[in-house]
Amino acid sequence: MRDQKLHQLLKETFGYESFRFEQYNIINSILDGNDTLAIMPTGGGKSLCYQIPALYLEGVTLIISPLISLMQDQVMNLKEYGVEAVFLNSSQSYRESQLARNQITSGKVKIIYVSPEGLLSPNLSEFFDQVKVSLIAIDEAHCVSQWGHEFRKDYTRLGELKYKFPDVPMIALTATADAKTRIDIANQLGMKSPEIFVSSFDRPNIKYMILERTDEIKQLDDFIKTHHIDDTGIVYCLSRDKVERVASALNKLGHKAVPYHAGLSQNERSMNQEMFNLEEKIIVVATIAFGMGIDRPDVRFVAHLDLPKSIESYYQETGRAGRDGKASTAWMIYGLQDVVKLSQMLETTDADENYKKVARFKLDCMLALCEAAACRRNYLLRYFGEVGAETCGYCDSCIEPPTLWDATVDAQKMLSTIYRTNQTYGAGHIIDVIRGSKSAKITERNHHTLSVYGIGKDETKEHWNSVLRQLLNLNYIMIKSWEYRSLALTSKSQDILSGKLKLNLRKQDESVSKIKTAAKLDKKRGKVTEASHGEDSLFLALKELRNRLAKEKNLPSYIVFNDKSLHDMCAIKPRNASEFLLVHGVGQNKLENYGNDFLSTIKQFL
């Protein structure tokens, strides 16, 4: 009986034929009254894991969400499916808040989105004493854990919910949590012997590309024009100033780009968020403040111009590309300054040593991904404890394996220069000495008289930056002083200086052939993931209709129907309401709202 009802809700409300990943098992765990922790990839359908139980159970489901914009999008989306939902947060006026509360107490609403600080406030806490709560869902649950990559203090009190609602099952959901973080989430929330479900972390439609930074704007422009011309994408930067500079540069180069960061006014942020939701062929340049919970399925690329501080951050952010399953790219450039900057930020915080130790490990793992000579995807999966194929055939390391070269002599030159300058100078000065710079700072310190002066003059600054960065990542050198960023040798360096150890390093390859090879693979991959109905004219007509209807209702077009639904319409060519219900993503409410318009357009092509 339960099974039949769950599948009925899935099809009649959301228009889906079957559950994905661990959705069915997660839902049954909740309905059995268990506390549940669900780790599912971005785009894997986490929302249905609490939305279906919310419709099945009596009473209401509380969903704790970290972002106001995310709550608004989710409520908007649910209403399109005919599900009554509201949110309660600080963006509402008193009248709007009262209206939402009246809807809740009248029994009309099944799903309520609320912020963590709002739910635990005395005002709302007393209000929910009057309401039958059947389920509590913690979305973006990595925010709960001190080992998570977006830890938020507001989330630390959510364990209090177990005391307030001792008999109500709780589900926590996130796309990124290693074993240590999963345990911490369960403990922080006070979960009782939770059932834990971990789906695959693999996103086979995403191609991973990581390059050494040379000229970031030119590299970004070349990447977009080669791989994703006229596509929607997100570019992440570490600072607000850089966000503004990059957005401005992209616009001058002919791309349509808008900035997004906390320094903008609320009006500017809302306007740029709305442009991202409603328009096509748009690029948002943003700090990591943008993107959590993004539902837009057709983001074709995510680019990082600065190194993320952990694999978890990287995976979460890159997962915002290709939620529709089509070929997409996670592209990143990095350099020595990223390593120094992130390390300095970590070491100068007030965090305790235990936290710093874990954070150092996470940063080291992120750097190891960048420097890896083997398959990027395999490395990511192993990090999260999943066994994958040795090669995926769809990352830059697999498309054209990197060249390893014998860097022993150059490493000895670098280490000797650091030693001869008394281990008190930063990377820039060391490279100037090794390349024989005639600058005043070299002669003033008499470093032009050293035996190591000019021993690397035949190589470029970029070459020595690469050698130095890899030596730092491999722990042959260390940053001795964060104030002056001075470099020093470690105990490991003696093996290289003495010649006991042969050192092979990764050679960065920016060749045109590599870019062309990757671009050809994009096209091939695109053909595999696109629907093969051969009805391009019909698809374009349906897309135009969808966009017009979305604009009339001021909705993102994907909330009306995503591309997968349109492709399904082209393949099935439904002639009536019954056949239209066979289309992926068409439930009863969408049939009533849009059936006549889409059937009329399809009829013209029959």
Confidence class for position 523, pLDDT limits 50, 70, 90: low
Per cent of the chain over pLDDT 90 is 55
Confidence class for position 5, pLDDT limits 50, 70, 90: very high
The pLDDT of 26-47, averaged and rounded, is 92
pLDDT, tens digit (0-9, with 9 covering 90-100), for 108-139: 999 999 988 888 888 888 898 889 999 999 99
Tell the residue number behind the tokens 């089509």, with chain if given: 326
pLDDT score of 601 more than 80: yes
List, in sequence order, every residue forming a beta bridge with 344; answer none if it has no partner.
Answer: none
Question: How far apart are alpha carbons 213 and 305 in whole angstroms?
Answer: 8
The pLDDT of 555-576, averaged and rounded, is 92
The pLDDT of 507-512, averaged and rounded, is 57
Q: Coil, strand, or helix at residue 177? A: coil
Kindly report the average pLDDT of the chain as a whole number. Answer: 88
Mean pLDDT lowest among 98-107, 444-453, 516-525: 516-525
The pLDDT of 560-586, averaged and rounded, is 94
Question: How far apart are alpha carbons 229 and 214 in whole angstroms?
Answer: 22
597 token code pair: 């318009």
Degrees (nearest 5) of the Cα angle 107, 111, 114?
115
pLDDT of residue 512: 40
pLDDT score of 521 more than 50: yes
pLDDT of residue 483: 63
**Runs of H (alpha helix) within 328-476:** 336-347, 353-371, 376-383, 396-399, 408-420, 427-434, 440-444, 461-473
pLDDT, tens digit (0-9, with 9 covering 90-100), for 179-206: 888 999 999 999 989 999 998 889 999 9
Degrees (nearest 5) of the Cα angle 209, 214, 215?
100
pLDDT score of 527 more than 50: no
What domains are there in the chain, each with its CATH number? Answer: 2-198 (3.40.50.300), 206-402 (3.40.50.300), 404-506 (1.10.10.10), 531-603 (1.10.150.80)
The pLDDT of 597-605, averaged and rounded, is 94
Quick check: 471 and 411 in contact, CB under 8 A?
yes
pLDDT score of 11 more than 50: yes
Confidence class for position 518, pLDDT limits 50, 70, 90: low
Measured from the Cβ of residue 485, the count of other Cβ atoms closer than 10 Å reads: 18
The pLDDT of 26-37, averaged and rounded, is 97
The two beta strands, 60-64 and 85-88, are: unpaired
Mean pLDDT lowest among 192-201, 289-298, 388-397: 289-298
pLDDT score of 48 more than 90: yes
The pLDDT of 66-72, averaged and rounded, is 77
Relative orientation angle of helices 588-603 and 68-80, to the nearest 10 degrees: 70
pLDDT score of 511 more than 50: no
pLDDT score of 58 more than 50: yes
The pLDDT of 218-232, averaged and rounded, is 95
Mean pLDDT lowest among 100-104, 252-256, 344-348, 431-435: 344-348
pLDDT score of 156 more than 90: no
pLDDT of residue 90: 81
Question: How far apart are alpha carbons 414 and 424 in whole angstroms?
Answer: 14
pLDDT of residue 573: 95
Quick check: 30 and 171 in contact, CB under 8 A?
yes
pLDDT score of 292 more than 60: no
Question: How far apart are alpha carbons 279 and 569 in whole angstroms?
Answer: 23
pLDDT of residue 347: 81
The pLDDT of 495-506, averaged and rounded, is 89
Confidence class for position 577, pLDDT limits 50, 70, 90: very high
Confidence class for position 513, pLDDT limits 50, 70, 90: very low
pLDDT score of 290 more than 90: no
Question: How far apart are alpha carbons 62 and 161 in whole angstroms?
Answer: 11
pLDDT score of 389 more than 90: no
DSSP state letter for 374: S
pLDDT of residue 451: 94
pLDDT score of 362 more than 90: no
Residues 6 or more apart in contact with residue 22 via CB below 8 angstroms: 38, 40, 197, 198, 199
User: Which among 551, 533, 537, 507 has a CA at the least distance from the CA of 397?
Assistant: 507
**Whole-prediction pTM:** 0.82
The pLDDT of 363-388, averaged and rounded, is 89
